[in-house]
């Protein structure tokens, strides 16, 4: 049996094993790069884990009253995506937010005494914003997607321009992320500030780019969130390919074609990007 077909008895642990492996294989998450948090339903946790058995309590630097009594599975800080599939109990943890919203309780995993990702602020604050928009929301995913990162060196960082370029790289991008992408300035990672700025963008869209660092995606399932980042990364790859092609660009997807596409697929492109009538 190949490493990628290893199965865990807990289905949501399995999902994390699979997706972290895929992200690593795509080269998006070198070393300890990337992190994922996945909101779980109490009932699905109870089925596999004793939720009365609190292993450890870890105080939070920022209170999250909006997430009281919520359960998440979260990648561990400093952990390598490459290793999740080999030892999920060490590289992942299942946590619950305490009744006062000031701490988290570890219920499973982080077996070497570890704790959740250094980007927990960005994750929790983004969950709070996305849940206000979408009750089905469950996943926040961060990756150092190679071409997205490369593109932030050579494309201007105006979010409307950036979104339009991505939409024009693959015909179906507009259908996958009609709300476009948000971009924050370069900020030191792992800080409350980068968390707040990311979450602020998540009010309006499900994708936020951190220049020269990576991307954050939000969605209702692991698959959907992965697919969202995968689609942006593909578009960014096309951009990087055609811009280094010596022959230059001979034809493009026009704004009118994008509008035609939106109409047929029934999506509303975010305002202020497509100008054709
Ligand atoms: O988890 O990717 O942004 C490591 C990181 C920090
Ligand atoms: Zn990162």
Domain ranges of the chain: 1-118, 136-277
CATH code for 136-277? Answer: 3.40.225.10
C-alpha pair distances (Å), 238 with each of 26, 150, 230: 16, 12, 12
Give the pLDDT band of residue 1 (cuts 50, 70, 90).
very low
pTM: 0.96
Q: From the CA of 231, how far away is ligand 1's center (Å)?
A: 21
Q: What is the mean pLDDT of the chain?
A: 96
Q: Is 105 a catalytic residue?
A: no
Q: What integer pLDDT is reported at residue 275 of this predicted model? A: 85
Q: Do domains 1-118 and 136-277 have the same CATH topology?
A: yes
Looking at the CA of residue 144, tell me the nearest atom of ligand 1.
2
SS3 86: coil
Cα separation, 252 vs 166, whole angstroms: 12
Beta-bridge partners for 116: 76
* pLDDT confidence tier of residue 5, bands split at 50, 70 and 90: low
The CB of 182 under 6 Å from ligand 1? The reply is no
Which residue in the list 15, 18, 105, 119 is annotated as catalytic?
119
Residue 56 bridge partners (DSSP): 106
Average pLDDT over residues 127-141: 98
Has residue 88 got a pLDDT over 60? yes
Average pLDDT over residues 248-273: 97
Closest residue (by CA) to atom 3 of ligand 1?
A: 189
**CATH homologous superfamily, domain 1-118:** Class II aldolase/adducin N-terminal domain (3.40.225.10)
Ligand 1 pocket residue status of 33, Cβ below 6 Å:
yes
Q: pLDDT at position 4, please?
A: 57
At residue 79, φ and ψ (nearest 5 deg) are: -85, 150
Determine how β-strand 56-59 pairs with β-strand 71-75.
unpaired
For residues 243-254, average pLDDT = 93
Give yes or no for residue 273 having a pLDDT over 70.
yes
CA distances from 156 to 165, 232, 245 (A): 10, 16, 19
Beta carbon of 34 within 6 Å of any ligand 1 atom: yes
From the CB of 126, is ligand 1 less than 6 Å away? no
What is residue 28's predicted lDDT score, i.e. its pLDDT? Answer: 98
Return the percentage of the chain with pLDDT > 90, whole number.
95
Indicate whether 61 pLDDT > 80. Answer: yes
> Is residue 117 scored above 80 in pLDDT?
yes
Full strand arrangement of the beta sheet holding 214-219: 56-59, 103-109, 92-97, 71-75, 35-40, 139-143, 214-219, 207-210, 182-183
User: What separation in angstroms does the CA of 159 have from each of 35, 39, 88, 166?
Assistant: 23, 28, 37, 10
Centre of ligand 2 to C-alpha 73, Å, is: 18
217 close to ligand 1 (CB < 6 Angstrom): no
Place of tokens 């590289």: 91
Distance CA 251, CA 247 (A): 12
Atom number in ligand 1 closest to CA 142:
2
Residues facing 93 on adjacent strands: 74, 109
How many angstroms is it from 35 CA to the middle of ligand 2?
A: 7
pLDDT top residue among 138 and 247: 138
pLDDT for residue 170? 98
Distance of alpha carbon 82 from its chain centroid, rounded?
A: 17
pLDDT-derived band at 276, boundaries 50, 70, 90: low
């Amino acid at each position: 049996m190949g490493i990628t077909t290893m199965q865990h008895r807990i289905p949501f642990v399995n999902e994390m094993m699979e997706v972290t492996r895929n992200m690593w294989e795509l080269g998006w998450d070198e070393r300890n790069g990337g992190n994922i948090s996945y909101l779980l339903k109490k009932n699905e946790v109870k089925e596999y884990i004793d939720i009365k058995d609190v292993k450890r309590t870890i105080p939070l630097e920022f209170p999250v009253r909006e997430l009281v009594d919520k359960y998440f599975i979260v990648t561990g800080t400093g952990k390598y995506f490459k290793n999740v599939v080999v030892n999920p109990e060490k590289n992942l943890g299942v946590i619950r937010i305490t009744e006062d919203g000031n701490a988290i309780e570890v219920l499973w995993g982080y077996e070497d005494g570890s704790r959740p990702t250094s980007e927990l602020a960005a994750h929790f604050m983004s969950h709070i914003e996305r849940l206000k928009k979408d009750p089905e929301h469950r996943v926040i995913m961060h990756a150092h997607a190679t071409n997205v990162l490369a593109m932030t060196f050579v494309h201007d960082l105006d979010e409307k321009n950036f979104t339009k370029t991505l939409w024009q790289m693959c015909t179906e991008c507009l259908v996958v992320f009609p709300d476009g992408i948000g971009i924050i300035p370069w900020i030191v990672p792992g800080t409350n500030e980068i968390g707040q700025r990311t979450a602020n963008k998540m009010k309006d869209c499900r994708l936020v780019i951190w220049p020269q660092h990576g991307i954050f995606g939000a969605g209702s399932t692991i698959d959907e969130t992965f697919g969202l980042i995968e689609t942006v990364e593909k578009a960014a790859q096309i951009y990087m390919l055609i811009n280094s092609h010596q022959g230059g660009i001979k034809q493009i997807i026009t704004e009118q074609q994008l509008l035609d596409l939106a109409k047929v697929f029934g999506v509303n492109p975010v305002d202020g990007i497509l100008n054709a009538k």
